[in-house]
Structure 1
Amino acid sequence: MKKYVLASFMVLGSLAINAQDDGSKSTALKVGDVIEIGHPSTSKYKHIKFPRANFIIKRNGVADYKKALGEEVVITDVEKIDNGETRISVKRKDGRRFFNTVSNVSISLEKALEANEIKI
């Protein structure tokens, strides 16, 4: 009798595990969605691949990362990487360039969400 009870708990437990929603917001994002750039958890953005300051200055841009804070961006490409991460490419909603130098920026989605660098 104990074996049947134990087996039924194992079956019900495995069904409950499979029924859980993973809560992944990356599957909900698609091309054309609008997200907002948030405040980084450190002094610099780690998971948003903005160009380095010397590259921006050489291209006659303004290397002020604070201006990116609160900027609305549109997703242009969603890409799954081999290790299970999702990388998205974004451009500004108003059509201008970031720091007057680059038009598209890539973001590591899951890591940027954890660090509050982007808001959905």
Structure 2
Amino acid sequence: MKKTVLFTFLVFLLSVSIYAQSNTSNVAIGDVFVIGEANDNYNHINFPKANFIIKKGGIVSYKNIVGEKVEVTSVKEDKDGQLIATIKLASKKKFFNSHKYVTVVVDKAIETKELVKI
């Protein structure tokens, strides 16, 4: 009896862990996206604040980044289960002439059309 209960418990744990590791997003390193136009501001692309851009000698203008191609350099999953990707400009330039990399919440940015897959 104890062995049957123990075996059932182990099978349950294995099945739960298999479903917990499944990832529905198909974003991989090297994928190319285009930065879309945001309604008010970019909520899911984590651009630096204006004062940090200015301190590094950059120009704060979101109009210059609309339509730019970006490439995914790394993908991680945070503690909430959201995919966080690090992106860089495909042209090898810097965002706002000051930052080489920017992070983005992939699923929400695609959903709100801040990022558009090519």
Normalising TM by the smaller chain, what interval? 0.7 to 0.9
- Gaps spanning 5+ residues in structure 1: where? 1-23
Distance 1:38 1:113 in 2: 9
Q: Give structure 2 stretches of 5+ with no counterpart.
A: 1-23
Segments of 4+ moved more than 4 angstroms: none
Q: 1:30 aligns with which of 25, 28, 31?
A: 28
Distance in 1, matches of 2:97 and 2:68, equals 14
Deviation at 1:95, TM superposition (A): 0.5
- With normalisation by structure 1, the TM-score equals 0.74
TM-score by length of 2: 0.75
1:116 to partner: Cα distance:
0.9
Q: Map 1:18-57 to 2 at 5 A.
A: 24=24, 26=25, 28-40=26-38, 42-57=39-54
How far apart in 2 are the matches of 1:86 and 1:111? Answer: 9
- Alpha-carbon distance between aligned partners in 2 of 1:83 and 1:44, rounded to the nearest angstrom: 23
Q: Which amino acid aligns with 2:62?
A: Y
Partner Cα separation in structure 1 for residue 66 and residue 93 of structure 2: 15
Aligned length: 94
SS at match of 1:111: helix
The residue number in structure 1 matching 2:10 is none
> C-alpha root-mean-square deviation of aligned residues, in Å?
1.0
2:84 is equivalent to residue 87 of structure 1: yes
| One-letter code aligned to 1:62 | I
* CA deviation vs aligned residue, 1:66-112 (integer Å, no higher than 9, x gap): 11101100100011122121000000001010001100000001111
Percent of residue pairs bearing the same amino acid type: 37
